[in-house]
Amino acid sequence: MANHKSAIKRIRSNNAKRTENRYYAKTTRTAIKQVRTAKTQKEAAELLPKVSSMVDKLAKKSVIHKNKAANIKSKLAKKVASLK
């Protein structure tokens, strides 16, 4: 257990940030699945900008790596383009 007051505060703030990051990561994963399972290209194309933005925000906050974000966005764009 932490011995300093500042360390105790740091533990508390880390837990809050971890909870928030997990929430946004899970929400983004769900949105990615919605794009992947979309039946029509129109439906997927409407979701793509929102999902791309969500992925970018995760990368900006270092929840995921920026290259992983780029890979996810690229694969989603290819998936949307391949739909009819």
pLDDT in tens, 4-13: 999 999 999 9
pLDDT at residue 63 tops 90: yes
- CATH number 3.40.630.40 given to 5-82: no
Instruction: Provide the whole-model pTM.
Output: 0.87
Task: Indicate the helix (H) or strand (E) that contains 29.
Answer: helix 5-36
pLDDT at 3: 87
Our CA dihedral for 52, 54, 58, 64, rounded to 10 degrees, sits at -50
Alpha carbons 48 and 65: distance in angstroms, whole number: 19
> Which pLDDT band holds residue 58 (cuts at 50, 70, 90)?
very high
The 10s digit of each residue's pLDDT in 12-25 is 999 999 999 999 99
Is residue 54 a contact partner of residue 27, using CB atoms and an 8 Å limit? yes
Domain coordinates of the chain in residue numbers? 5-82
